[in-house]
A and B are shown apart, each in its own frame.
Chain A
Amino acid sequence: MTDPALPPVMNRAAAGVDFDSAEARARLKKRYRAEARFKALGLLAVLVTAAFLGFLLVDILRKGIPSFFEYRATLQITFDPAVVDPKGTRDVADLRGADYQALVRAALQAQFPEATDRRARRALDSMISSGAVDDLRKAVLADPGIIGQTRVMPLLLASDADLFLRQRETLITRLKGSGPLQVQGEGSNITLRNGGAAFRVALAGTKSFLAERRRALLAELATLPPAGGNASVDAKRNELEQAANAIQARITDANAPETLTDREPSLLVSIGGGILKITEIGPNDAKATTLVAPRPGSLITDWSVLTLRVPETNRRVNDAVSAWLETLAQRGMTEKAFNARFFTNGDSREPELAGIRGALIGSALTLLVTLLLCVPIGVAAAIYLEEFAPKNRFTDLLEVNINNLAAVPSIVFGLLGLAVFLNAFNLPRSAPLVGGLVLALLVLPTIIIASRAALKAVPPSIKEAALGIGASHQQAVFHHVLPLAMPGIMTGTIIGMAHALGETAPLLMIGMVAFIVDIPGAITEAATVLPVQIFLWSDLPELAFQSRTAGAIIVLLGFLLVMNAAAVILRRMFERRW
């Protein structure tokens, strides 16, 4: 601690000032208190920031990490020649145009023979992603020899089915049944009987769900004005009261059987490899219909009741499809695997097929253009302004303008890009070339300012020594000052690039906020960038895109982290202190 106030106090002490007096001690204490207070506030500020950051990171990781995994159904696919190559010519065009969906459907129907009518077939189709169909096509084109064979193929599940297996559609609770379950009847007319606790617990669950609904009705009723004032109020009160009373009548007798509709949580019974859906439940017995037929002669002591907490009407996956997925999982025919498509595919409107490769390459192309423009122009401008330019009103004005430009909102650069590059120069819309040009304008001031600071930090003695032994001004700058300023310039550049990587607003105007499936191959092809991809996905209705959004954010954060870390490392490695 260097305290500039100390010497005079000691002088005063020497001069006979009493610094041991009560007053002086109080002053000292006050000073210490102020310091302690400041430290505490500082620590608090750091903790609050860390908490916010931590919350953000945890939230994004929690939402985003699931998007790096996908669920697949591993089914036996028979590459039936009658479907794949009906003419038997092995002609590539024929193979490409074949109906591979039919292969998937046949494999699923082998598992679920009860799905025969058109509706059920469509439900079966909806379980498997169209990407799986493309995979089968690719497999056949890669090796036509598999036609006629039967292979176990991993088939990507559609996003709704995927969300169901992740329990994002509904929470599923499993209750193991005790004692044998008596099953009578078949098809849609089955009676189940069991003396154990399972049915009683399931019934109580249904009743508590109804009680919850009744509470909501009563809460609604409480917000209405008292009866007798207004006819429409009375009608509404009546309606709510009747609904609440009807539920009350159902729940007062805890043992009264309940008929289940699609507005209550679904109860499924898993038994012997099959699934039954309960339509009416009592404390010891239940009526049920078959969703997946149990294997004949299977054990009836090993069974459980599944409660799908969200009512069927509120789910995108209905009970039949739920039962099929559950059965596939029980038969060991589902697997969770790394989602490589997320990194190899371009954008798609099917959440399970959407990937970030197009956006990543778009970002890379855009940043390449920015870098190629910014570094030469920015560094040249900085050297000129710092080393060669005369100091006059004009250069002062220039400096003020550069500093000002660094603070201009980025959307303004987008408008500029639209007016100049698109409308005046007729450059293509949505191209990384234009994006790079606009972002170059955006980060140029940052680079100029950082480069000037780095040049200024090189001690004048270096340049003077060079000049002293006969170097020209330009030689002194380019051979001696610039190399020493390079780490600082590079740090500034990387930070500027990281800034450019995260920009969305200026790209809005030049058409880079767009749905682009094809992966761009050149700076004049349509492309989008990573932050824009995040923005676009966040706006789509499908639930599964929310986790994709978070996944893309994780990738973006990763790149920003790498870039900023590179800036720090460069500075540490090459920095010289004078």
Chain B
Amino acid sequence: MTSFRSTALLALALLSSTGLAAARDQIRIVGSSTVYPFTTVVAEQLGKTAGVKTPVVESTGTGGGMKLFCDGVGVQFPDATNASRRMKAGEFELCQKNGVKDIMELMIGYDGLTLAFSKKNPPLSLTRAQVFLALAKNVPGPDGKLIPNPYKTWNQVDPSLPNRPIEVLGPPPTSGTRDSFHELVLEPGAEQIPAMKALKAADRKAFDAAWKSIREDGVYVEAGENDNVIVQKLEANPGAIGIFGYSFLEENVSKVQGVKLDGVEPNEETISTLKYPAAREMFVYVKKAHIGVVPGLDKFAQEFVSNRAAGDGGYLEKKGLVPVPKDRLANSQANVANLKVMTGEGLPK
């Protein structure tokens, strides 16, 4: 029967492919969807110029990428992972436990976590405390005790803000952008409020729970990982505010404008100097053990921190990445050249 023959052929293909998995000539990268637009550009450049196969870049989210990356050393595990925040101490330990001992850390540039809204409105300036009051699940009431967030409009949060319903579109909890939003905006925002500061001193756990939870009464809308959808919704609904990375703001300058945060406008300069409070660093982690095993991995790391990619005026800047200052980039280049690995000291919890 021909059908039997085809099944047999397929079984053969199955067997032979298990053999194929033992060697790999293509770099595999996983991780953050925020870094994905930049890593893919580097991957494409590498494929065009370095004479190796174009690396495969998956968009799994920062946390998911770390898990895959730290699973082990060997060709069935990815060679590098993108992260929109630094590797956490727990993730580093997981890596160590699974035999991923030597990890190279590349700081590739900055991204500003921007709050943006339609160009149809005049510019808006918010403090992080105002953002916290508008979005946290529990906020301090008149007596300083935490109560469920009662604010429905911006001028209830602060009378100098317009009388418009609070409506914020942002990333879901699985996203690295969401982690950064909590850490860069909500936590410092809470600290700006005297009642919350008192709470932090009195009950650290309650304070942490307060900035880690976003209200769930429909004011904050989880818009999925697709930032273009957020931009489209902001256009259709001029009252709403969206949360996304700076590269999306830059690409959509004709439609949306950035909200000033603590009086600082998000732009390349304020982000690269970290003056903009919600600026964050972005990283790529590379397994040293895979260098020399997977062809081109060393070239990939070199290309990513090279002047023509991550440098001032490099091609990543054109894609919306805010470049690293010269001395820091030179430092990264030296680290890549010497294959310097992480020690795991000073990593965030």
Which of A's residues lie within 8 Å of B, judged by CB? 122, 126, 134, 169-170, 213, 216-217, 220, 223-225, 229-230, 232-233, 235-236, 240, 243, 310, 313-316, 348-350, 369, 372-373, 375-377, 379-380, 425-431, 433, 511, 513-518, 523-524, 526, 536, 538-543, 546
With contacts A313-B253, A523-B13 known, is A539 near B33, CB below 8 A? yes
Rounded to whole Å, the gap between the CB of B228 and the closest CB of chain A is 6
Instruction: List chain A residues, Cβ under 8 A from B338.
Output: none
26 contacts between A and B (CB under 8 A): A169-B254, A213-B122, A216-B121, A223-B155, A224-B162, A236-B160, A314-B253, A316-B253, A348-B44, A349-B41, A349-B319, A369-B10, A375-B3, A377-B7, A425-B14, A427-B21, A428-B24, A430-B28, A514-B56, A514-B57, A515-B40, A515-B58, A518-B47, A518-B53, A538-B228, A546-B228
CA distance A235 to B9 in the complex (A): 78
Instruction: Count chain B CB atoms within 10 A of each CB in A314, A315, A375 and give the residue with the most.
Output: A314
CA distance A314 to B257 in the complex (A): 9
Is there an interface contact between B21 and A541, defined as CB atoms closer than 8 Å?
Answer: no
With contacts A349-B41, A541-B37 known, is A376 near B56, CB below 8 A? no
CA distance A233 to B155 in the complex (A): 9
Binary interface encoding of chain B residues 24-58 relative to chain A, with 1 for a CB under 8 A from any of its CBs, else 0: 10101000010011011101100110000110111
- Chain B residue with the shortest CB-CB distance to A425: B18
Which of B's residues lie within 8 Å of A, judged by CB? 3-4, 6-7, 9-10, 13-14, 17-18, 20-21, 24, 26, 28, 33, 36-37, 39-41, 43-44, 47-48, 53-54, 56-59, 76, 119-122, 155, 158-160, 162-164, 225-228, 247-248, 250-254, 313, 318-320
Q: Which of A240, A314, A433, A516 contacts B13 (CB 8 A)?
A: A433
With contacts A516-B54, A523-B13, A539-B228 known, is A235 near B252, CB below 8 A? no
Rounded to whole Å, the gap between the CB of A141 and the closest CB of chain B is 14
With contacts A314-B119, A526-B56, A539-B226 known, is A428 near B21, CB below 8 A? yes
- Chain A residue with the shortest CB-CB distance to B2: A376
CA distance A507 to B248 in the complex (A): 26
Is there an interface contact between B4 and A315, defined as CB atoms closer than 8 Å?
Answer: no
Is there an interface contact between B17 and A427, defined as CB atoms closer than 8 Å?
Answer: yes
CA distance A536 to B60 in the complex (A): 12
CA distance A316 to B320 in the complex (A): 12
Is there an interface contact between B160 and A230, defined as CB atoms closer than 8 Å?
Answer: yes
Is there an interface contact between B17 and A429, defined as CB atoms closer than 8 Å?
Answer: no
Instruction: List chain B residues, Cβ under 8 A from A429.
Output: 28, 76
- Chain B residue with the shortest CB-CB distance to A222: B163
With contacts A313-B253, A372-B10, A430-B56 known, is A224 near B155, CB below 8 A? yes
Is there an interface contact between A235 and B17, defined as CB atoms closer than 8 Å?
Answer: no
With contacts A541-B228, A541-B248 known, is A225 near B159, CB below 8 A? yes
Q: A518-B26, A540-B37 are in contact. List 12 more A-B contacts (CB 8 A).
A: A229-B159, A315-B253, A428-B20, A428-B21, A428-B24, A516-B54, A516-B56, A536-B59, A541-B247, A541-B251, A543-B252, A546-B228
Is there an interface contact between A220 and B122, defined as CB atoms closer than 8 Å?
Answer: yes
- Chain A residue with the shortest CB-CB distance to B158: A232
Is there an interface contact between B58 and A232, defined as CB atoms closer than 8 Å?
Answer: no
Instruction: List chain A residues, Cβ under 8 A from B59.
Output: 513-515, 536, 539
Instruction: List chain B residues, Cβ under 8 A from A433.
Output: 13-14, 17
With contacts A426-B21, A514-B56 known, is A220 near B254, CB below 8 A? no
Rounded to whole Å, the gap between the CB of A419 and the closest CB of chain B is 14
Instruction: List chain A residues, Cβ under 8 A from B39.
Output: 515
